[in-house]
Amino acid sequence: MEQKNFKQDLVLKEFWRDNRRFADLFNTALFGGKQVIDPDKLEETDKEFSNTIVLKRHTETINKIIDLVKKTYQGVDFVIWGIENQQAIHYGMPLRMMVSDILAYQREYEDIARQRASEGELTGAEFLSRFRKGDRLHPMVSVCVYYGEDPWDGPVSLYDMLEIPDELKSVVNDYRMNLIQVRDSEQFDFQNEDVHIIFDMSRMIYHRDFQKIEEIYGNKSIPSELGIVIGAITSSKNLIEAAMASPKGEINMCNALKELENKGRAEGMAAGRAEGMAAGLQDGKAQGIIKSYKSLGGTQAAAIELLKKECGISQTEAEDYIQKYWRQIFLGLVGRLALFLFL
């Protein structure tokens, strides 16, 4: 993958296209490790999974959500939804997923109805719905993978988004989403090594548990592809660049993280020095303005306005400079005057 062609928003989608990774996510997170989905029997389904919802006059585009991968196993559609780290928590996610499922069911229903209409031979009741008594839709099983660093504090079901009187809860239908948080994934024992590594490493990076990373991965290199995925999850452009620049197609994450830590520390120190120099220059400029104004008999109010204009600072900052230097300059002038008079 060339760096110039790298698109971070496609990294996770490509990662989950692998059948073994895809199956392991569902088998581990939803089925407790039971091998319900056979990766060798997974089938690709339509990739045109619309990210726009149109309901009469209301059109809503799902920009913050990536419908990563959709596959079929034994007549059941499995979908991975992902929320990008930089987009943070989505407080309408259960509704979004529910609407997506409904649209998928509706689309399949309409396909069957068109087929039945073309075939003819429908009974009275079947003619009305264009759906035979024995017709069935394919089930949808969806998971939402939340890659963010902050704990998920949003709703996990339609109930969580509704204000329902207690006496009505038993008659209001619910929709519950399957949520997987990378930052809280310790309970999952993933069997696929790639899936295990990206969850394990990303979680420890979020928790700043670098000592544990050193203990587990100290002498171990991983494929650069996984380093890129981990960088995409944790929004680390430097890690992505380090993985992409690796000449051997693999990366030692401990060494990479240490280098990034050292680089970050050096950049922080350089930035601190630059900020200090800039602050010192502005401080000297402010002192010079006050000194000049004071020596010319100017007022504090006029000096404040000049400071705001020349230094590009706020009223409060200008007043702080006056408080800091006005009396100091005044005492300096008095001292020099006294020295002149008594010599």
pLDDT at 64: 42
> Kind and range of the H or E element at 263?
helix 253-295
- Average pLDDT on 314-342 reads 62
pLDDT at 199: 96
Among 198, 240, 238, 237, which Cα is nearest to 16's?
198
pLDDT at 129 over 60: yes
- What is the per-residue burial (b if ≥16 Cβ within 10 Å, else e) of 63-96? eebbbbbbbebeeebbbbbbbbbeeeebeebbbb
Q: Would you say residue 120 has pLDDT above 50?
A: yes
> CA torsion sign, 293 to 294 to 296 to 301?
positive
The more confidently predicted of residues 65 and 159 is 159
Which of these, 132, 70, 137, 130, lies nearest to 105 by C-alpha position? 137
pLDDT digits over 226-279, tens only? 999 999 888 888 888 888 888 788 888 877 777 666 655 555 545 545 555 555
Could you tell me the pLDDT band of residue 332, with boundaries at 50, 70 and 90?
A: very low
| pLDDT (0 to 100) of residue 178 | 95
Hey, where are the domains in the chain? 3-248, 286-342
pLDDT: which is higher, 86 or 311: 311
The residue that leads in pLDDT, 303 or 23, is 23
Measured in whole angstroms, the distance separating CA 110 from the mean position of its chain's CA atoms is 36
Q: Taking Cα atoms as reference points, which of 200, 258, 198 lies closest to residue 223?
A: 198
**pLDDT tens-digit map of 88-118:** 688 889 998 999 889 889 999 999 999 988 8
> Is 331 a residue whose pLDDT tops 80?
no
- The yes-or-no verdict on residue 60 having pLDDT over 80 is no
